[in-house]
Amino acid sequence: MSSKAIQSRFSISTPIYYVNDLPHMGSAYTTIAADAIARFNRLKGKSVLMITGTDEHGQKIQRTAEAAGRSPQAHCDQYAAAFVSLWEKMNIQTDRFIRTTSARHEAIVYEFFQRVWESGDIYMGQQQGWYCVSCEEFKEERELLDDHHCPLHPNKAAEWRDEQNYFFRLSKYQSALEQLYSDRPDFIQPESRRNEVLSFVSQGLQDFSISRVNVEWGFPLPVNPDHTIYVWFDALLSYVTACVDLEAEPTLENALSGGWPVDIHLIGKDILRFHAVYWPAMLMSANLPLPGQVFGHGFLTKDGQKMGKSLGNVIDPVDLVARYGSDAIRYYFLKEIEFGRDGDFNEARFINILNADLANDLGNLLNRTLKMVYKYCDRQVPTVAISEIPAEDILRSKGEMLGEQVTQAYQALAFSQACEAILSLVRASNKYVDEQAPWTLYKQGKQVELERVLYGVLESARLAAYLLSPLIPNVSTSIYQQLGYSVDFNQQDAAAPFETHSLWGALPTGQTLGEAMPVFQRLELPAPPT
């Protein structure tokens, strides 16, 4: 592969989700964000690998399957399918869906284990401590609530364990990790998460156990089949497996040529240590390159508590998407919650924001402008040379900066900022129509001014739709089609290249417009139950 081709690749992963239960809005949140970033990079013409999947081994899954009276594999098959189906409903474009029970993954786990074994980083020891099965993690006594309950799963008690396990020599990598964080300050994002990790690591790293004796549902340890491989050791490797081309043999070599290391691991803040500390150390031990960045976002909360399957306070994304459609959900969660921070879900607020931003500001802007263009300009984009629009014109000056501003925001995963910048052009356009009053210009016979105004507004609506397309691809497609394009933002083709379409002034003059129709139907709050 040429270096140019390698440069134009982009890869992003979500965590792989536990299949102990159906997906909830918290799991959908990470995946929507990853999809938006993947789509943005596709718009930019990159060859993108968007990786997600399911985490199917370990005690939590084993117990859930037992309680349901199913074999673990049958249980995993059923629940993995629920994730695949939700991603389709949420309009997620997945390139690789990796399941940890697949034979391809097993091959990678064994090859990787062997390398770490040969590095001398695995040894047998005695593990004593409190284990939270919901986190699949040993906890320090001081991390637990009274009665040894885990703060993330306050209705579940951690369990005391005292058993022989194989350990990974994490402590050996203390200084190499510190060096990594200082050489690559962007490795952990946002800053608050980086600080958490620095503080954790500065307290001194302890080796961690990577095998279990009481869990059958996992890959047997090659060096001692009485043990299975710890679910997290196995799970992290899914990112490597996912990089192997689908037709290639599952080997580390092929993962390297297929795209490992990924650019961004997008995760929730609860699993930061695994990704920012354990994982880079494991990769160093196996002599594999490290990922570009680990970004830990916040939690979705309901009434202030982390939304989670264990707490039973989840919002059902299948129900939400059936009632409101995928664009609404994608937009709300990415616009409303500053990415990196926690955010609460409130249905009334959800509806207000969508109605205000998409139905009123964006939808009405397009609709009213199209109708004027039908009437005053014979359904065609007015013939206006951009050079005739003064540089200080509010729409031109805002529009000319927008592509770059929004690019920077997407690159920093600052979705709210991207939306705010785009919406600010949309709001300015609505105000501009009110102030310039094209209907008056028409009556006064000022056709040149009229066309300049209408062009500016149409073009601003187009640019807004283009830059919002990673978040609301269906709405953006509808806007583009009404503007006379045959572009579909759900097709991964190059029909609307970034170099031209991200610039204000790209709307071709003389283009015949399509039929005006509402781009986003106003939402109503469901009637309260009687």
Bind-site residues for Zn(2+): 132, 135, 150, 153
Q: Is 300 in the site for ligand MSP (CB under 6 A)?
A: yes
Q: Which candidate, 54, 92, 37, places its Cα nearest to that of 329? A: 92
* Rounded least distance, CB 288 to ligand MSP, Å: 15
Q: Is 498 in the site for ligand MSP (CB under 6 A)?
A: no
* Rounded least distance, CB 495 to ligand MSP, Å: 34
Sign for the CA dihedral angle at 220, 225, 230, 236 comes to: negative
For the CA atoms of 341, 346, 349, 354, what is the dihedral angle to 10 degrees?
Answer: 80
Q: Is the omega angle on the peptide bond into residue 261 within 30 degrees of 0, that is, cis?
A: yes
DSSP 463-485: HHHHHHTTT-HHHHHHHHHHTT-
Is the Cβ of residue 235 or residue 384 nearer to ligand MSP in the bound state? 235
Q: Is 16 in the site for ligand MSP (CB under 6 A)?
A: yes
Which listed range, 22-30, 142-150, 365-373, 377-385, lies at the site for ligand MSP (CB under 6 A)?
A: 22-30
* Rounded least distance, CB 289 to ligand MSP, Å: 17
Query: What string marks each residue from 258 to 277 as x (binds ligand MSP by CB under 6 A) or -?
Result: ---------xx-xx------
Is the Cβ of residue 16 or residue 282 nearer to ligand MSP in the bound state? 16
27-46 binders of ligand MSP (CB under 6 A):
27, 29-30
Q: Is the omega angle on the peptide bond into residue 190 within 30 degrees of 0, that is, cis?
A: yes
Is the Cβ of residue 122 or residue 307 nearer to ligand MSP in the bound state? 307
Is the Cβ of residue 18 or residue 432 nearer to ligand MSP in the bound state? 18
* Rounded least distance, CB 273 to ligand MSP, Å: 11
> In the set 55, 56, 121, 327, which binds ligand MSP (CB under 6 A)?
55
Q: Which candidate, 386, 374, 389, 376, places its Cα nearest to that of 512? A: 374
Pairing of strands 9-18, 264-268: parallel
- Cβ-based neighbour number of residue 445 at 10 Å: 9
Is the Cβ of residue 414 or residue 450 nearer to ligand MSP in the bound state? 414
Is the Cβ of residue 95 or residue 342 nearer to ligand MSP in the bound state? 342
- Most distant pair of Cα atoms in the chain: their distance: 89
- Give the list of residues 6+ apart from residue 414 with CB closer than 8 angstroms, or none: 338, 339
Q: Which candidate, 204, 244, 212, places its Cα nearest to that of 228? A: 212
Q: Is 321 in the site for ligand MSP (CB under 6 A)?
A: no
Is the Cβ of residue 196 or residue 361 nearer to ligand MSP in the bound state? 196
Query: What string marks each residue from 153 to 172 as x (binds ligand MSP by CB under 6 A) or -?
Result: --------------------
> In the set 11, 26, 188, 464, which binds ligand MSP (CB under 6 A)?
26
Is the Cβ of residue 60 or residue 396 nearer to ligand MSP in the bound state? 60
Output the known binding site: 132, 135, 150, 153
> In the set 299, 331, 333, 498, which binds ligand MSP (CB under 6 A)?
299
**Inter-residue contact 107 to 43 (CB < 8 Å):** no
Which listed range, 221-229, 303-311, 367-375, 391-399, lies at the site for ligand MSP (CB under 6 A)?
A: 303-311
* Rounded least distance, CB 384 to ligand MSP, Å: 46
Q: Is 17 in the site for ligand MSP (CB under 6 A)?
A: yes
Which listed range, 88-96, 306-314, 370-378, 421-429, lies at the site for ligand MSP (CB under 6 A)?
A: 306-314
Q: Applying CB under 6 A, what is the total number of residues that bind ligand MSP?
A: 21
Per the listing, tokens 């991200």 go with 502
* Rounded least distance, CB 18 to ligand MSP, Å: 4
Cα–Cα distances (Å) from 472 to 397, 451, 496, in that order, read: 25, 29, 16
Give the tokens for residue 53: 């999947």
Cα–Cα dist 169/116, whole Å:
10
Please give the distance of CA 472 from its chain centroid, rounded to a whole number.
Answer: 14
Cα–Cα dist 432/372, whole Å:
14
Q: Is 15 in the site for ligand MSP (CB under 6 A)?
A: yes
Give the tokens for residue 148: 């040894």
Is the Cβ of residue 19 or residue 454 nearer to ligand MSP in the bound state? 19
DSSP 402-430: HHHHHHHHHHTT-HHHHHHHHHHHHHHHH
* Rounded least distance, CB 142 to ligand MSP, Å: 22
Per the listing, tokens 């909360």 go with 301
Is the Cβ of residue 53 or residue 473 nearer to ligand MSP in the bound state? 53
Cα–Cα distances (Å) from 108 to 52, 176, 240, 249, 290, in that order, read: 17, 24, 8, 10, 16
Give the tokens for residue 261: 């290391």
Sign for the CA dihedral angle at 120, 122, 123, 129 comes to: positive
Q: Is 306 in the site for ligand MSP (CB under 6 A)?
A: yes
Taking each helix axis as running N to C, give the angle between helix 317-324 and helix 25-43, from 0 to 180 degrees, rounded to the nearest 10.
Answer: 60
Supply the DSSP symbol for 357: I
Which residue has its beta carbon closest to ligand MSP? 268
Which H or E run contains 160? strand 159-168
* Rounded least distance, CB 25 to ligand MSP, Å: 7
Is the Cβ of residue 349 or residue 522 nearer to ligand MSP in the bound state? 349
* Rounded least distance, CB 417 to ligand MSP, Å: 20
**Inter-residue contact 498 to 44 (CB < 8 Å):** yes
227-256 binders of ligand MSP (CB under 6 A):
235-236, 238
* Rounded least distance, CB 336 to ligand MSP, Å: 14
Residues near ligand MSP (CB under 6 A) are 15-18, 26-27, 29-30, 55, 235-236, 238, 267-268, 270-271, 299-300, 306-308
